[in-house]
Amino acid sequence: MMNDWAGLPATYGDVLRRAMDSLFRTFENFSEGTFIVDAEARVVWINKRYAARFGFSDPQQAIGRDCEAVIPNSLMREVVKTGKPILLDILETDREPLVVTRLPLKDDAGNTVGAVGFALFDELKALTPLFSHYSRVQQELIATRQSLAQARRAKYTFGSFVGTSAASLEVKRQARRAAQLESPVLLLGETGTGKELLAHAIHGGSARANQPLVTVNVAAIPDTLLEVEFFGAAPGAYTGADRKGRVGKFELANGGTLFLDEIGDMPLPLQGKLLRVLQDKEFEPLGSNRIVRADVRIIAATSADLPALVAAGRFRADLFYRLNVLTIQAPPLRERVSDIEALAYAMLEDLSTQARGGNHFELQDDALRLLCSYGWPGNVRELRNTLERAVMLSDSERIDARALAPLLGMAHGAGVGVGISTGAGTASTIAASTTPAGAAEPASWSDAMAAFEKRFLSDALRANGGRVIDAAAQIGMGRATLYKKIAAYGIEA
Ligand SMILES: Nc1ncnc2c1ncn2[C@@H]1O[C@H](COP(=O)(O)OP(=O)(O)O)[C@@H](O)[C@H]1O
Ligand SMILES: [Mg+2]
């Protein structure tokens, strides 16, 4: 640095002083703000405009204060500490950001005695394109963070868990208690009993509610990808399509809750790793030499019989005991029949706002009796799917047993409803023939659909006295199509 001045005449000290002086003046005049601190980063001087911008009507009020107390986010302390300039930087303020330059001030011995900062924003219009780019990127980042936070917030609260049967009240009581505690939660119960809903509610009711809730559906991810999904990977650490590296769900959930759905499907080696993370509260992403500390609360759920899996050696006993602290058993729907009416109406309400705006669907008494006598192997999810279909297929806002009966069992996927006859039989005999216990060999999906369609079309024809034209109009199907299907299915009008 000093070499650059070496060729100057003996008066160079004067030139240097003038250069510094005029530089300072130029910056001072043309910058948005100028600001000097001492070696302790306390304000020595600040110009009026700059002081005013940060809420000091009189610059004197700022003198002697710590720089951060005058200019939040100021990095002048770093400059006096390191003695190194920050030539160009962006300072966030509560108004628009400023482009700033920070230079250390040295004494003759080269010791840092303070620093001077200039805010250049207004006069450096050349920076505008850079700025608009920066602000756009910044805006996008903020929006992305917000939507991510939104997505990770709990979807359901305890209020979303409909049901006042003794069994449901007990489940809600246990879940509320679990929300107050920090230990792992294990949610057991058949598919569709509301385990995921409860996991959301527990997180949402816990002290971690404002932190992320991150879900991993163990059953939905191939075994080979699970480890990376959980713990992440350093860039280039594995030969997946994605070589950029990946942040694992454990790290994403830090401070919050990790919901491990279908944990019974977790491969044994990964169970061991999970157990270690739960014990040590830290882990190493694949191929990195980085230790990540994770403060994560675990909520695990499974529809599998975990003790049986433990007995069979397919689930680690030590992991099971670790998770089996606050265990909540979500009862199957058939054991809380008294909830069905409230559930059905809550769902119909939901479906009517979603699908056909304004329609209010009503269940006829026989429909309700039918719902209450059915076995619901798919539990609340199946109830919802069944009602969804009923709403879609129904011409009227009144849903009766006749409209519902053909749909029972279809929404569970196993096709157990096939083969029942809609016209005949009381609700209870229909239900008996559709519970899984009484189910015949499950048909394929296409067989089930064909059987349903045949029955549906026969019913429509019968209801219209065998008149194809009227039946076609009623069900909203083209006449030619209906004729073709009548022939294909061999339906006798
Ligand atoms: N008690 C309940 N009240 C209202 N909706 C429920 C209830 N239980 C389950 N559901 C609904 O049923 C469906 C399946 O629930 P989910 O929590 O995914 O079950 P699981 O995780 O046990 O398979 C979801 O649409 C959920 O909102
Ligand atoms: Mg589930």
Q: State which of 104, 124, 144 marks the end of a domain.
A: 124
The pLDDT-based confidence of 370 (bands split at 50, 70, 90) is very high
**Residues 117 and 183 placed together within one structural domain of the fold:** no
- For residues 269-304, b (16+ Cβ closer than 10 Å) or e, as one string? ebbebbbebeeeeebebbeeeeebebebbbbbbbbb
Q: What is the mean pLDDT of residues 210-223?
A: 90
Cα(427) to ligand 1 centroid in Å equals 25
Q: Is the shortest distance between the CB of 191 and ligand 1 below 6 Å?
A: yes
- Please indicate whether residue 378, judged by its CB atom, sits closer than 6 Å to ligand 1: no
Contact 80, 112 (CB under 8 A): yes
- Determine which of 12-16, 19-23, 475-479 has the lowest per-residue pLDDT on average: 12-16
Kindly state whether residue 340 falls inside one of the protein's structural domains: no
- Tell me the three-class secondary structure of the chain, residue by residue: CHHHHCCCCCCHHHHHHHHHHHHHHHHHHHCCEEEEEECCCEEEEECHHHHHHCCCCCHHHHCCCEHHHHCCCCCHHHHHHHCCCEEEEEECCCCCCEEEEEEEEECCCCCEEEEEEEECCCCCHHHHHHHHHHHHHHHHHHHHHHHHHHHHCCCCCHHHCCCCCHHHHHHHHHHHHHHHCCCCEEEECCCCCCHHHHHHHHHHCCCCCCCCEEEEEHHHCCHHHHHHHHHEECCCCCCCCCCCCEECHHHHCCCCEEEEECHHHCCHHHHHHHHHHHHHCEECCECCCCCEECCCEEEEEECCCHHHHHHCCCCCHHHHHHHCCEEEECCCHHHCHHHHHHHHHHHHHHHHHHCCCCCCCEECHHHHHHHHHCCCCCHHHHHHHHHHHHHHHCCCCEECHHHHHHHCCHHHCCCCCCCCCCCCCCHHHHHHHHCHHHCCCCCCHHHHHHHHHHHHHHHHHHHCCCCHHHHHHHHCCCHHHHHHHHHHHCCCC
| 399 within domain boundaries | no
Ligand 2 center to 380 CA (angstroms):
11
What is the average per-residue pLDDT within 334-354?
Answer: 91
Closest ligand to the CA of 384: 1
Q: Which of 91-95, 261-265, 451-455, 481-485 ranks highest by mean pLDDT? A: 261-265
Comparing 16-30, 213-227, 455-469, which segment has the lowest mean pLDDT?
16-30
More confident site: 185 or 93: 185
Q: Looking at the CA of 157, which ligand is closest? A: 1
Q: Is residue 181 part of a domain?
A: yes
pLDDT value, residue 238: 64
Model pLDDT, residue 105: 92
Which residue's CA is the nearest one to ligand 1's atom 10?
194
Ligand 1 atom 23: residue of nearest CA: 192
pLDDT band at 18; cut points 50, 70, 90: confident
Least confident residue range of 14-18, 159-163, 303-307: 14-18
- CA 10 – ligand 2 centroid, Å: 84
- Closest atom, ligand 1, to C-alpha of 261: 21
When pLDDT is cut at 50, 70 and 90, the band that residue 41 belongs to is: very high
Q: How far is the CA of 248 from the centre of ligand 2 (A)?
A: 21
Closest C-alpha to ligand 1, atom 18: 196
Model pLDDT for residues 347-361, shown as the tens digit of each residue: 998 888 776 556 788
200 and 73 in a common domain = no
- Please tell me the number of the ligand nearest to residue 192's CA: 1
Could you say which ligand is closest to the alpha carbon of residue 195? Answer: 1
Residue 97 has pLDDT above 90, yes or no: no
Lowest mean pLDDT among 401-405, 444-448, 478-482: 444-448
Q: Are 190 and 303 in contact (CB under 8 A)?
A: yes
Indicate the pLDDT class of residue 434, thresholds 50, 70 and 90.
Answer: very low
Strand duo 33-38 + 185-188: pairing: unpaired
Of 124, 150, 185, the residue that ends a domain is 124
pLDDT of residue 387: 92
The pLDDT value given to residue 1: 45
Same domain, 317 and 206: yes
Structural domain includes residue 426:
no
Output the pLDDT for position 185.
97
Separation of CA 123 and ligand 1 centre (Å): 60
The residue to mutate among 170, 196, 197, having the most atoms of ligand 1 within 8 angstroms of its beta carbon, is 197
Does residue 309 share a domain with residue 193? yes
Q: Which of 20-34, 384-398, 431-445, 464-478 has the lowest mean pLDDT?
A: 431-445
Average pLDDT (13-24) is 75
pLDDT band at 14 (very low <50, low <70, confident <90, very high): confident
Do 168 and 82 share a structural domain? Answer: no
Whole-number pLDDT of residue 424: 33
Lowest mean pLDDT among 27-31, 158-162, 298-302: 27-31
pLDDT band of residue 420 (cuts 50, 70, 90) is very low
- According to the model, what pLDDT value does residue 289 have? 84
Tell me what the pLDDT averaged over the chain comes to. 83
Whether residue 193 has pLDDT greater than 80: yes
Asked if residue 163 has its Cβ within 6 Å of ligand 1, the reply is yes
Indicate whether 270 belongs to any domain: yes
Residue 221, pLDDT above cutoff 80: yes
The pLDDT-based confidence of 411 (bands split at 50, 70, 90) is low
Pick the more confident residue, 443 or 234.
234
Higher pLDDT, 340 or 22: 340
CATH number at residue 55: 3.30.450.20
Q: How many A from CA of 192 to the centre of ligand 2?
A: 6
Model confidence at 319, in pLDDT bands (50, 70, 90)?
very high
The minimum-distance atom of ligand 1 relative to the CA of 189 is 22
Residues spanned by the domain of 277: 158-236+245-331
If asked whether residues 227 and 290 sit together in one domain, one would say yes
- Whether the CB of 162 sits within 6 Å of ligand 1: yes
Ligand 2 centroid to Cα of residue 220, in Å, is 11
Supply the CATH number for residue 306's domain: 3.40.50.300
Position 339 scores a pLDDT of 96
* Closest to 369 in 3D by CA, of 407, 400, 331, 343: 400
Same domain? 82 vs 163: no
State residue 296's pLDDT score. 96
In a domain, 360, yes or no: no
Q: What is the mean pLDDT of residues 403-421?
A: 59
Q: pLDDT > 70: what percent of the chain? A: 84
Q: Is residue 382 predicted with pLDDT exceeding 70?
A: yes
Boundary-marking domain end, from 287, 312, 331: 331
**Nearest atom of ligand 1 to the alpha carbon of 156:** 27
The residue among 122 and 477 whose pLDDT is bigger is: 477
Domains: count for the chain = 2
Whether residues 103 and 200 share a domain: the answer is no
Of 286-295, 310-319, 338-347, 416-425, the range with the lowest mean pLDDT is 416-425
Give the pLDDT confidence score for residue 386 in this predicted structure.
92
Please check whether residue 418 lies inside any domain of the structure: no
Is the residue at 353 inside a domain? no
pLDDT band for position 428 (50/70/90)?
very low
What pLDDT does residue 53 have?
87
Q: Are residues 250 and 320 in the same domain?
A: yes
Residue owning the nearest CA to atom 9 of ligand 1:
194
